[in-house]
Homo-oligomer: A and B are copies of this chain.
């Protein structure tokens, strides 16, 4: 059974066989497009192995040696910082086709934890090989630069959210972003199943789990959402978008 509970179609329902990058249907998400056939063949050697990660298990932990990036083939992850003082901050949620582990490059050591929120499988791409190939294949190099830059820009957006939005706006932004990414993967743009707890959502959005819960309830009362625990259906997309766009204050 597909952990993604497909709502529209089921593009995630991949056979458990070894699939080459050149033949992977997630390729357009995690690989550069427009490569020559020989370059594509090279890129197939990027993935050293696959790795399965059970729900609740960690793909890597802060402090561990970094030596590879991971492309998510299936499943859902969170990345989180844990400060010495016990504070915990979810820095992102990642889904199939997204790259994880970029934080480790600076110090050859991971600086956050990556935890699977559902059973997952990742492609292990040794970074030394990526770097080597990026020196030979310019489009791959450009792709890598873009992936890193995209992460920087994404985090800018989170800073805007955390720095200047109120609870309702944060949750609205969060939901719109999630469905948009799911939709790009062939899922419904109005229904979604949250893979994370209220507490994890709260940590990401800089609010307490009770506030997350209350905000969900308010959206439900207002007829914007239908919330059944982690099953969420967007009933009034325009209203959600209006919440995001309204001026602060």
Q: Residues of A at under 8 Å CB distance from B?
A: 81, 83-89, 91, 102-106, 111-112, 131, 134-136, 138, 141-142, 144-146, 148-153, 155-160, 162-165, 203-206, 245-248
Contact = CB atoms under 8 A, between A and B. Distances in A.
Nearest to A112: B156
Contact of A206 (B84, B112, B162, B245): B162
Contacts of A106: 146, 149-150, 153
Contact of A159 (B141, B158, B165): B158
A83 B52 CA distance: 40
B159 A89 contact: yes
A129 to B, nearest CB: 13
A95 B152 CA distance: 19
Contacts of A159: 81, 89, 91, 155, 158-159, 162
Contacts of A206: 162-164
Contacts of A164: 87-89, 203, 206
A80 to B, nearest CB: 9
Contact of A104 (B134, B138, B149): B149
